[in-house]
Amino acid sequence: MSPDPTHREVLFQLADVARALRTYVDQCARRHGMTRAQWAVLLRLDRREGMTQAEMADALEIQPISLVRLIDRLCEQRLVERRPHPSDRRANRLYLTPRGRATLQRLVPLGRAVSAEVLAGLGEGEIRRLLEQLLRVKDNIRAAAEADSAARRAANGESQHAG
């Protein structure tokens, strides 16, 4: 049975909206001498300093090797610093520098402007409901992915024992 066309259209539109938002934020960030990815690292560190590079890669959903190059650039610009992990000599913890904090502070008005432009025409109640709905969709995706992974593991375990 094929999916409901409206349901399918919602999924297409979610993907298109995410892509359009990434493109627009990239354009805005470039006008301020930054990339969307660099801005995302600074924002994540502002929320949770001391993350390891592996935790940051997971949070940003990028490959660790891509993150290393990104962090290298941010360190060269003196926006971020790496500090040794106290108990794992292979890991580094990431921290904002004073210059990184100042850069992030300069980007606050840009973030507010992007939010205002992107959410124009929606009331506060609509925005809250949209957020709740998007979070529910995100939870559904995570649950479906976890169930799929569990089913694959079970199938692999069964097939290994069958042979």
* Cα–Cα dist 75/160, whole Å: 47
How high is the pLDDT of residue 83? Answer: 92
Task: Write the pLDDT tens digit of every residue in 56-105.
Answer: 999 998 898 889 999 999 999 999 999 988 888 888 899 999 999 999 99
Contacts (Cβ under 8 Å, ≥6 apart) of 44: 51, 56, 59, 60
**One domain, residues 78 and 148:** no
**One domain, residues 76 and 41:** yes
Number of domains in the chain: 2
**One domain, residues 41 and 110:** yes
Domain extent for 108: 5-120
**One domain, residues 46 and 57:** yes
User: What is the band of 158 on the pLDDT scale with cuts at 50, 70, 90?
Assistant: low
Answering whether pTM is above 0.95, one says no
* Cα–Cα dist 70/37, whole Å: 8
Straight-line distance from the first to the last Cα atom of the chain, in angstroms, rounded to the nearest whole number: 34
Q: Which residue has the higher pLDDT, 119 or 88?
A: 119
Task: Write the pLDDT tens digit of every residue in 35-52.
Answer: 999 999 999 999 999 999
**One domain, residues 98 and 155:** no
Of 44, 14, 38, which Cα lies nearest the Cα of 26? 38
